[in-house]
Chain A
Amino acid sequence: KQEVTQIPAALSVPEGENLVLNCSFTDSAIYNLQWFRQDPGKGLTSLLLIQSSQREQTSGRLNASLDKSSGRSTLYIAASQPGDSATYLCAVDNTDKLIFGTGTRLQVFP
């Protein structure tokens, strides 16, 4: 059974810091891995999708890597801003359904 874990559960940093959020999964037989952002009480916004054959994806200040053999992904956020404050969820696509971690709650203060 696929299980997804995210570390840390919460993170509070000053503006400008570079951040690394971690995601691990137990079954390496995935189709892809997706990182989402969720603002309080809102839906999910897709940030990056990495296909199983890819090693990383980049969008602006965000970079996500995938090491399928070790069951790990990291989301790197460069030069964090207060507007980055949100919960970040990773999800693995297991036979066309997403299995989510419990998220990392990020607060960036000025």
Chain B
Amino acid sequence: DAGVTQSPTHLIKTRGQQVTLRCSPKSGHDTVSWYQQALGQGPQFIFQYYEEEERQRGNFPDRFSGHQFPNYSSELNVNALLLGDSALYLCASSLTAGTSETQYFGPGTRLLVL
């Protein structure tokens, strides 16, 4: 049973560029959440996708957008990258949204913006 997978593992971009990160949820899970973890901090909630729609969103600008596909996989897009976007981006999956089930996390994508 594959767990949550994310790609790529590492990424280096320059300011102003755009980036797309990908996530495949744990088998049987239909809800995907994205978190940003800056160095030395706890993860911060970006948004959650369920049934191909953004279900709720944290305090992140519109430069952060996402998508969920019919197979429940998800993408996180960040436009106009800033130095402060450098972080570990974590994807978490869970059973049906709104049930407060355990969230399972992937290994993350480490993004460095130069």
Residues of A within 8 A of B (CB): 4, 31-32, 34, 36, 41-46, 49, 51, 89, 91, 93, 95-103
Contacts and interface: CB of A to CB of B under 8 A. Distances in A.
19 contacts: A4-B42, A34-B102, A34-B103, A36-B105, A41-B88, A43-B4, A43-B107, A44-B90, A46-B104, A91-B42, A96-B56, A96-B97, A96-B98, A96-B99, A97-B48, A98-B92, A98-B103, A99-B45, A103-B42
Interface residues of B, number: 28
A102 B102 contact: no
Nearest to B44: A100
A108 to B, nearest CB: 20
For the complex of A and B, 10 pairs with smallest distance between CB atoms:
A100-B42, A31-B100, A44-B105, A43-B107, A97-B45, A43-B105, A43-B108, A102-B42, A49-B102, A93-B100
